[in-house]
């Protein structure tokens, strides 16, 4: 069964860093564009960042630009989200999601990992 | 940035009825519009793309229509399992944005 599995979430103080990982099982991540999408408690979906198959193109939401970095290690079949200068408003479930070919729609999602930013 | 407005916020219908969910864009997105279903405690599920193309494995009860700024997701003959929040998403260009969601309740 094809799966995306996120890890690395947890409780962090405002201003602190955290790195999320996403592993693919049953799929070779290097074949796909990938994204991070988040969902604050009780709220809707918010696109965070996207990365091209080879990592040569990256796109970020304005709300995280300059603070978050999306990256990938295709040899390890892993996707990352390095989050720095975290704010209370970054508290959310973070999903990694696979794009459908070159189309920026998400046909496979992980189960999500919770990030809580609080003092 | 394209703003997507979904209506109604909540829809309450009985099994067997037809649900009509609306998504309006602040500017034309052509047919670059997708739909997702999300149940409590679960990740979103991909339903539809290009406004009217069903994703793999999605039953024909789900249909999409529209272009430009006005889009509709129709679920014919509702089942109890259709209870969920439904989100639209555009993908004309970055930033990608989602609507705020329509919660569908099955009586």
Surface-to-core class of residue B32, CB atoms within 10 Å of its CB (0-12 exposed, 13-18 middle, 19+ buried): buried
List CB contacts of A49: < 8 A, sequence separation 6 or more: A35, A36, A58, A59, A60, A61, A64, A68, A70, A81
With cut-offs at 50, 70 and 90, classify the pLDDT of residue A2. Answer: confident
Q: What is the pLDDT of residues B3-57, one digit of tens each?
A: 999 999 999 999 999 999 999 999 999 999 999 999 999 999 999 999 999 999 9
Query: Are B43 and A62 within 8 A, CB to CB?
Result: no
Q: What is the pLDDT of residues A39-65, one digit of tens each?
A: 999 999 999 999 999 999 999 999 999
Chain A residue with minimal CA distance to B103? A44
Surface-to-core class of residue B30, CB atoms within 10 Å of its CB (0-12 exposed, 13-18 middle, 19+ buried): middle
Name the residue among A44, A59, A107 with its Cβ closest to that of B98: A44
Strand (E) or helix (H) holding B19: strand B19-25
CA dist B86 and B84 (Å) reads 6
Name the residue among A47, A59, A105 with its Cβ closest to that of B46: A105
Chain A residue with minimal CA distance to B91? A104
Q: What is the pLDDT of residues B90-107, one digit of tens each?
A: 999 999 999 999 999 999
Name the residue among B36, B96, B100 with its Cβ closest to that of A47: B96
């Amino acid at each position: 069964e094809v799966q995306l599995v996120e890890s690395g979430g947890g409780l962090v103080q405002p201003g602190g860093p955290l790195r999320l990982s996403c592993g693919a099982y049953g799929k070779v991540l290097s074949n796909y564009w990938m994204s991070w999408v988040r969902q604050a408690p009780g709220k809707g979906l918010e696109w965070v960042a996207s990365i091209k198959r080879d990592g040569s193109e990256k796109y970020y939401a304005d709300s995280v630009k300059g603070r978050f970095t999306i990256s990938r290690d295709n040899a390890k079949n892993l996707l990352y989200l390095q989050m720095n200068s975290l704010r209370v408003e970054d508290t959310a479930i973070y999903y990694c999601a696979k794009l459908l070919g070159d189309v920026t729609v998400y046909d496979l999602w992980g189960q999500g990992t919770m990030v809580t930013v609080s003092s | 940035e394209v703003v997507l407005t979904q209506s109604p916020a909540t829809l309450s219908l009985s099994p067997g009825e037809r649900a009509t969910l609306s998504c309006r864009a602040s500017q034309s997105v052509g047919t670059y519009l997708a739909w997702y279903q999300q149940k409590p405690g679960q990740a979103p599920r991909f339903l539809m793309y290009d406004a009217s193309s069903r994703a793999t494995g999605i039953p024909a009860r789900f249909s999409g229509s529209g272009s430009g700024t006005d889009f509709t997701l129709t679920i014919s003959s509702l089942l109890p399992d259709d209870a969920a929040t439904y989100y639209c998403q555009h993908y004309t260009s970055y930033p990608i944005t989602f609507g705020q969601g329509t919660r569908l309740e099955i009586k």
